[in-house]
Amino acid sequence: MPIATVNPATGETLKTFDPLGPEEIERRLATAHAAFRRYRATDFAERSLLLDRAADLLDEDRDDIARIMTTEMGKPLAAARAEAAKCAKAMRWYAANAAVLLADERPLPEDVKDSGAEQARVHYRPLGVVLAVMPWNFPLWQVIRFAAPALMAGNTGLLKHASNVPQTALYLEDLFRRAGYPEGCFQTLLIGSDAVESVLRDRRVAAATLTGSEPAGRSVAAVAGDEIKKTVLELGGSDPYVVMPSADLERAVRTAVTARVQNNGQSCIAAKRFIVHTDVYDEFAARFTEQMAALKVGDPMSESTDVGPLATERGRVDLEELVDDALQRGAVALCGGKRPETLSRGWYYEPTVLAGVTPVMRIHHEEAFGPVAALYRVQDMDEALDVANDSPFGLSSNVWTRSEEEQRRFVRDMEAGGVFFNGMTASHPAFPFGGVKRSGYGRELSGHGIREFCNVTTVWHGPVHGTA
């Protein structure tokens, strides 16, 4: 895949970039490693000043970087501005909290004594150069949620971004440079996916984090495993959205629409499978379909647009194949199911609701990365859980119920990295983010995320006998 900005609203190639050659890749690896050896000696106060300064610059740049993101991957402009604001918020959160999150831990005095130590503690040290392989769907946020904690922990970063968002990738390198970070602390590698393995195998790279497809995750994990290097993987999801009879139906429907079409439906934590109790199914389906069909599809630069184009032509073809397979196997499109007739250019697809989805359909097991909702009718909580868990993915989940007993059951039995009651799944810097099953492993954000790329070190002091 060429490294290029291709406007998904028009299909027009706006700018192309040459991939880095071997000599430049080597120079950047050496620079990142040398920067780590110096930067790890900085204290939290100095790191916080740098990250806060980067957040301030990002706020100043918000409109400009939002237009770049919208141009490169098609998200509505308002959503792009919100993404930039969220990134600045997360940067400030880590700048304010990293020292506490990585403070030394003191074992119980009786355990210290039993170990024969005079004193002991657990200390968090940075690992080194971390390679981040990132996707295009949240081209700023996905990177910042790795970079902010990694830099605050004392690591340095190398970014291999998706090949269709090169200008966003270069902006990120420039942002940290302007904030005053030492040379090499954060660098963008404009390389193709075929060059990732050699970078990851380099002895100066200590670990890797990847957000992306299942095949990409397998590839990076296999190489890292062979090299015995730490990885964190977030590989997407097909999140269930369960609606029980006690739900506030008006809010559940309204939120369901947002949860499905956020980021043009191209979000790992977007609700994709809507599992509705039979007592409220008919009303939910009617309202949900009506509101999905009423969404405005169009130019993502327009403030009135609800849903923009899919990011790539291949992505639209993949989505069409999933929908066509479901329709051929007996599903019914309550709305959508095709390209908009009024938009002849760009990679648009109508918001779609499919009813009658069954396990024989591909969409039941595969992630639909676009504004397509799969609708299920269930008889009770047991069946709701069975359908929700009948997926290779387990990233997050949404459950609408006011029953505390039902909530306890869903927390116990839902196979997911998050359970969000009476609201939409969202990431926040204070809460761990990640999944189970084929959604990956490890956690981003919160204290769990900042410790992923730390050397958790036992520091033990034996008793000192006698005097000098």
DSSP 30-41: HHHHHHHHHHTT
CB 68 within 8 Å of CB 168:
yes
Q: Is 224 exposed, middle or buried (0-12, 13-18, 19+ CB in 10 A)?
A: buried
How far apart (Å, rounded) are the C-alpha atoms in residues 104 and 96? 17
Q: Name the one residue in this structure whose structure tokens are 């299942």.
A: 214
Q: Catalytic pick from 87, 185, 268, 454?
A: 268
Closest CA to 445 of 72, 149, 114, 59: 149
Find residue 275's DSSP bridge partners: 242, 376
Q: Name the one residue in this structure whose structure tokens are 């006690």.
A: 246
Q: Is 268 a catalytic residue?
A: yes
Element spanning 346, H or E: none
CB 242 within 8 Å of CB 275:
yes
Q: Catalytic pick from 72, 173, 234, 444?
A: 234
- Neighbouring C-alpha atoms within 13 Å toward the C-beta of 407: 10
Residue 45's CB is within 10 A of a number of other CB atoms, namely 9
How far apart (Å, rounded) are the C-alpha atoms in residues 57 and 59? 5
Q: Is 303 a catalytic residue?
A: no
User: What letter does residue 193 receive in the DSSP assignment?
Assistant: G
Helix axes 62-73, 44-60, angle to 10 degrees: 70
- Neighbouring C-alpha atoms within 13 Å toward the C-beta of 98: 30
Helix axes 62-73, 77-101, angle to 10 degrees: 120
Six token digits for residue 48: 């916080």
CB 7 within 8 Å of CB 71:
yes
Q: List phi, psi (to 5°) of 455.
A: -90, 105
Q: How far apart, in Å, do the first and last CA atoms of the chain sit?
A: 68
Catalytic residue positions?
234, 268
